[in-house]
């Protein structure tokens, strides 16, 4: 069912994918000359990468960052978008309903690719630095944990270009549990905010002196997570995301049904035995 051989992670020209620690993958957005701005091939690749990582038994946690000194990503490559995509005017003879259908399909694909990060079974730690505008927020909202460098300049920029953000920011930010008064401030004004503000409101959970330090910290955290039972870790991500979207009673029922199978892992036995013996357990692949 699942492929036994390692996926080929070199097939994605816009990303560097490395493995800095056991069971840890590092996905680096790699279009630094354009401030890592996104155009269509980049989000198609991104979705494909995270779908592969999701089922790859040799990966247990993931770090996502941007190449270069200047930007995690400056957001959508507006020039590319305006020559091809949802933002292009309708062709002659196309009425507004038909154009709407075209736009809807386009947004659906785009959302689907970014949501692959959230749907990935393994935790994803996002490391932001430099410019982190527009799509940077959509994308980082789909990650589980957000860390950043002190120089990061964040902005929910979409109203600047005449539109409500539609790739995830407005859908996920109200569920990131950061104060709604602040969320509306930054989404409606499109103003910049810095790392300290991001930390204070809880949008990021760690700020570090520079990108390298932040990346190092993220890899450490990923390594720590990867040292735990993958059954426990992946269940924790799944159940937290499910619970975010459901009532407490629904959440309790779901984790009960989930764990009916997942408590029957060798990991529980191994973890408890190792705990009693004061040593670190190892866990088989998942």
Residues 49-68 within binding reach of its own copies (CB under 8 A): 55, 61
For residues 180 and 210, which CB has a smaller minimum distance to its own copies in the complex?
A: 180
3-state secondary structure of 126: strand
Question: Applying CB under 8 A, does 188 fall inside the site for its own copies?
Answer: yes
Q: Residues 96, 277, 278, 279: which binds its own copies (CB under 8 A)?
A: 96
Stretch near its own copies under the rule CB under 8 A, chosen from 3-11, 19-27, 64-72, 164-172 = 164-172
- Within 13 Å, how many C-alpha atoms sit on residue 10's CB side? 1
Q: How far is the CB of 133 from its own copies (least distance, A)?
A: 12
Strand-pairing partners, residue 148, are 128, 207
Q: Is 139 a residue that touches its own copies (CB under 8 A)? A: no
**How many residues in the shown chain lie near its own copies by CB under 8 A?**
119
Cβ 134 to its own copies shortest distance, Å: 12
Q: Does 233 bind its own copies (CB under 8 A)?
A: yes
Instruction: Out of 25, 59, 165, 214, point to the residue binding its own copies (CB under 8 A).
Output: 165
DSSP 90: P
Q: Is 44 in the site for its own copies (CB under 8 A)?
A: no
Q: Min. distance of Cβ 167 from its own copies in angstroms?
A: 8
Q: Say whether residue 90 binds its own copies (CB under 8 A).
A: yes
* Lateral strand order in the sheet of 145-149: 15-21, 24-29, 61-66, 124-128, 145-149, 207-208
Rounded least distance, CB 151 to its own copies, Å: 19
Q: Return the beta strands (E) in the chain as ranges.
A: 15-21, 24-29, 61-66, 71-73, 124-128, 131-133, 145-149, 153-155, 192-194, 207-208
Q: In this complex, which beta carbon is closest to its own copies, that of residue 70 or of residue 228?
A: 228
- 83 touching its own copies, by CB under 8 A: no
Examine residue 238 and tell whether it contacts its own copies (CB under 8 A).
yes
Contact call for residue 282 and its own copies (CB under 8 A): no
CA distance 244 to 261: 22
Per CB under 8 A, contacts with its own copies among 8-27 are none
Stretch that binds its own copies, among 10-18, 62-70, 129-137, 278-286 (CB under 8 A): 278-286
Our finding on whether 182 is near its own copies (CB under 8 A) is yes
């Amino acid at each position: 069912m699942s492929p036994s051989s390692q996926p080929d992670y070199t097939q994605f020209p816009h990303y560097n994918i490395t493995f800095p620690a056991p069971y840890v993958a590092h996905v680096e957005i790699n279009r630094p000359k354009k401030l890592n701005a996104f155009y269509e091939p980049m989000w198609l690749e991104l979705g494909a990468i995270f779908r592969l990582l999701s089922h790859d038994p040799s990966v247990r946690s993931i770090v996502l960052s941007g190449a270069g000194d200047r930007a995690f990503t400056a957001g959508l490559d507006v020039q590319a978008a305006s020559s091809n995509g949802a933002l292009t005017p309708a062709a002659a003879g196309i009425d507004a309903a038909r154009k709407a259908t075209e736009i809807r399909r386009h947004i659906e694909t785009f959302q689907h690719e970014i949501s692959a990060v959230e749907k990935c079974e393994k935790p994803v730690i996002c490391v932001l630095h430099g410019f982190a505008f527009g799509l940077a927020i959509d994308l980082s909202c789909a990650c589980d944990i957000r860390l950043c460098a002190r120089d990061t300049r964040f902005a929910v920029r979409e109203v600047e270009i005449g539109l409500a953000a539609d790739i995830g920011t407005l859908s996920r930010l109200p569920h990131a549990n950061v104060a709604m008064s602040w969320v509306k401030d930054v989404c409606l004004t499109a103003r910049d905010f810095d790392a300290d503000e991001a930390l204070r409101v809880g949008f990021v959970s760690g700020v570090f002196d520079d990108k390298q330090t932040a990346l190092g910290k993220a890899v450490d955290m990923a390594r720590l997570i990867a040292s735990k039972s993958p059954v426990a870790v992946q269940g924790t991500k799944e159940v937290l995301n499910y619970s975010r979207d459901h009532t407490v009673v629904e959440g309790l029922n779901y984790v009960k049904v989930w764990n009916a199978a997942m408590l029957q892992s060798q990991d529980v036995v191994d973890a408890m035995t190792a705990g009693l013996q004061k040593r670190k357990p190892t866990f088989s692949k998942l």
